[in-house]
Structure 1
């Protein structure tokens, strides 16, 4: 497996609605391994490996949570609005890049919050309205550089390895890991009777919009959203079995859907047969592109398969390469041994 590709994907900026830089990398990487590659009007990348059998849609989203310029104060401080689900407390002191519409960097800033001194009392978690980005530039200098209302602000951190180098950390692991896994699966599938559509979707973090439009084009017989979930192995309450390094997860239920029991049972049987560790997930909050796949037309049997990460929706996500390798292996086996749906 090419970990350099995952590193490149994670380090690239691709906030919801501005995913073109990520898409270019994926398109170049996957094109030699598929029969067709196209971008639809919303910006989704759809890569097809032709077959005469059932249509299968595998979806991973390219976008990452970020921020947007809401106002520029007279002193040059930039007020921000969230793009996707971000806990404001995780932003304090983060370095951020402000982007041009084409995704290149205009300038760098630090996400700031009123000075916190030792012994000072914090009565509640800070709200996004209290944050600002300090670029060291005046309002005029920001304007001259092209910073304006609507410019993207992306918190950043370089991809790195931890411990024995089988643990990775970085920004945008949700869902560049999923994108990476689909590219690697496309490389491994040599011949198939299935008509496979690898869909790299946009704007998942703000409303699952990319999958909603792509599923109309693909019209699949069944589908899998390849995404990440929150590892709760550091939760002192111990109310989850989703633990980093113990294998991929398969969703039974999230906050929006109950996954296809037939598809889930088939995947569980494959994992058992080939001795791939697999965790079952019951999620009380959050959902994925599988929601809009499942609700297409008269209904599409769908589920979610992926890996767990710690510190989700931060610049310091943590994931296990062992889990990623096992998930790629399982996805390949599912496509080689498809369900009868």
Structure 2
């Protein structure tokens, strides 16, 4: 999770994953867009599992003479969640620490509204000339959050940056290590550029043309509300629908049956905001049945997310049982 993998710049994450998985599968390759595809040979059905490597972040739009860095978002970020956040302004060899602050409020109209992205800037303590000398330029990426992860008050409550979707990448990695147990042909795809348009899933699904696909994702927990619908610590989530797609009913029925057989508690995710790689996979070529299994995260799409380790373990167990006894579609 500590590696930077902002959309379009997933190289560091990809190299870590490649080193981790290459000895467990038939072959590993990187396609032209940057997806990492680990292929486990086997018999029908041909299954695609996907998780995206990229995380939300920022990109430098301009730098004024005083060194104030103005930025644009890569992925969906609420400006209010950025105010006061520590960031890493990335350069060729390392990063420069900075924090996000607010332009001075100079009139009453600004006092009565939430900050917008254009109101914010990054202060590194350096002026424009010093930043340029350090290798910071327009187009440089900015990584959110602290580069460490930690447990909160309970042992299994974890916090860290980029849980969306490094949790999914971890799930796929653990499944690859168990892939000798699976008889089917499986393509484990670590996709790029999900946060800005689902692009990696689109190209990889077209190339693989699977019989069906399941996406390992993160979803938003609302368990701090009085009447939550999704909570951390209550099991992996099965997506019914999101803002742009409806999950395949046959796959969802199978997933529910396996979860019940193995006494794995699951939650049902019906969301009106956002979508996942499953959407673009499902409309690849002549169509691909697709489903989504997610882990709930508090504060999703912010600098620091919170998840429950037991949900991750149960998601891995559920995927493992599905791959041991796949359905033919």
* TM-score normalised over the length of structure 2: 0.96
Other structure's SS at 1:98 match: strand
Partner residue, 2:182: 192
1:107 aligns with 2:96: yes
Name which of 308, 311, 317 aligns with 1:320: 308
- Please show how residues 171-250 of structure 1 align to structure 2 within 5 Å: 171-236=161-226, 238=227, 240-250=228-238
Q: Retained in 1: the 8 A contact 2:45–2:328?
A: no
The alignment status of 1:34 with 2:25, answered yes or no, reads yes
Deviation of 1:324 (Å)? 0.3
Extract unaligned runs of 5+ from structure 2: none
Any conservation in 1 of the 2:103–2:121 contact (CA below 8 Å)? no
> C-alpha root-mean-square deviation of aligned residues, in Å?
1.4
Task: Find the aligned partners of 1:56 and 1:100 in 2 and give their Cα distance.
Answer: 38
Equivalent residues in 2 for 1:119-138 (5 A)? 122-138=111-127
- Find the counterpart in structure 1 of residue 141 from structure 2: 152
SS in 2 for 1:11: coil
TM-fit CA distance, 1:115: 5.8
Q: In the alignment, is residue 309 of structure 1 matched against residue 297 of structure 2? A: yes
1:150-199 Cα deviation digits (max 9, x unpaired): 00011122211112220100110000000001001111232322110000
Which residue of 267, 270, 273 corresponds with 1:279? 267
Cα displacement string for residues 241-298 of structure 1 (whole angstroms, at most 9, x for unaligned residues): 2111000000011111110000000000000001000111111111000011100111
Match of 1:256 among 244, 249, 262: 244
1:113 and 1:105 mapped to 2: Cα distance? Answer: 25
In structure 1, C-alpha distance between the alignment counterparts of 2:180 and 2:152, rounded to whole Å? 33
Q: 1:46-85 to 2 correspondence within 5 Å?
A: 46-85=37-76
Give me the whole-angstrom Cα distance separating, in 2, the residues matched to 1:139 and 1:150. Answer: 15
Equivalent residue for 1:6?
none
Runs of 4+ in structure 1 over 3 Å off: none
Cα distance between partner residues in 2 of 1:134 and 1:291: 38
Report the TM-score, using the length of structure 1 for normalisation.
0.93
Give the gaps of 5 or more residues in structure 1.
Answer: 1-9
SS at match of 2:201: helix
Which runs of structure 2 are paired with 1:13-32 in the superposition (5 Å)?
Answer: 13-32=4-23
